[in-house]
Amino acid sequence: MTQTTLPASKMPTPRSNLKNWIGVIPFFLFAVLFIFLPSVRLFVGSFTNVDGQFTFENVIELFTEDYILNSYLLSIRISAVTALGGGIFGFLLAYSVTVGGLPRSLRSALITFSGVASNFAGVPLAFAFVATLGRTGFVTSVLKDVFGFNIYDAGFNLYSFLGLSLTYMYFQFPLMVLIMAPALDGLKREWREAAENLGANTTQYWLRIALPILLPSILGAMILLFGNAFGAYATAYALTGGRLPIITIQIGAQVRGDVLHNPNLGNAMAMGMVFIMAISLAGYSWLQGKTERWLR
């Protein structure tokens, strides 16, 4: 009798049945309420006109209204520039602390600092850059007083494309460092030794072996940086107060109050962003698959 009360069925079994899905219902409920419903609502809204009927008008308007198209292009340009710049600089930094021969202590310092800086965005970041490169900022004053060079007379403006890009770089290149450092660790010493035994010099090793192996992860990381900048809103808003009409700022204005005649156009603008972000993420995971062939 006592034998049968031992709950053999309670023992974890690798086989699962429909009942086991009950355990993940809370998670799916959360995902539906806070991720799917809001997304679906925006998605449906972008194909609905003011009277609630199905239409492609909103989506077509994204491409025909100049100011919307220009906002997308501005966002794409700024994200691409900072992804490329931050990607190259971050790669060089990651290189210097991994295979570049710097002491190990510098490596952990850089990794920690990168963790901080890649999370240091939004309003505080904007304020820090105003204090640095603003009209009376620290660097501006030093350049003017010590070198007699006024960057604002030379055409620089913090509240411009270049200024916003420099500000974004502050969280872009640290993210690259965080992603690339483990990838660079994956380069095996044997590959280098084999190349050297066959008579390759450093340049040949990098151009013919290391970079081709690393290329998918470099590109993948840059795509991630692109998305990182593309979705940014608070930094740009706090820095330029909405004067630089990137797409997130336009959507923000739309949420604050319907500045357009048609609230569903705002939905379409949002879906356009999600679409671009989804393409980037798909590209990233495709490249990630390519990376895993060699690294790890």
- Binding string, 47-86, against another protein, x = CB under 8 A? ----------------------------------------
HSE at residue 80, side-chain half, CA atoms within 13 A, is 7
Residue 38 phi/psi, 5-degree rounding, is -60, -40
**Rounded distance, CA 262 to CA 57, Å?**
11
Please give the residues from 86 up to 115 whose contact with another protein meets the rule CB under 8 A: 89, 92-93, 95-97, 100-102, 106, 108, 110-113, 115
Question: With the CA atoms of 253, 255, 259 and 265 taken in that order, what torsion angle do they form, in degrees rounded to the nearest 10?
Answer: 110
- Binder to another protein among 72, 168, 205, 230 (CB under 8 A)? 230
Cβ-Cβ contacts under 8 Å for 118 (sequence gap 6 or more): 171, 174, 175, 178
**Rounded distance, CA 93 to CA 97, Å?**
7
* Residue 55: CB minimum distance to another protein, A: 17
Closer to another protein by CB, 195 or 284: give it. 284
Please give the residues from 239 up to 268 whose contact with another protein meets the rule CB under 8 A: 248, 251-252, 254-256, 266-267
The yes or no reply on residue 37 touching another protein (CB under 8 A) is yes
The yes or no reply on residue 24 touching another protein (CB under 8 A) is yes
- Binder to another protein among 84, 182, 200, 288 (CB under 8 A)? 182
Please give the residues from 275 up to 294 whose contact with another protein meets the rule CB under 8 A: 277-278, 281
- Binding string, 111-140, against another protein, x = CB under 8 A? xxx-xxx-xx-xxx-xxxx-xx----xxx-
**Rounded distance, CA 199 to CA 46, Å?**
60
Q: Tell me the H-state helices in 186-233.
A: 189-197, 202-205, 211-230
The yes or no reply on residue 189 touching another protein (CB under 8 A) is no
The count of other CB atoms within 10 Å of the CB of residue 190 is 8
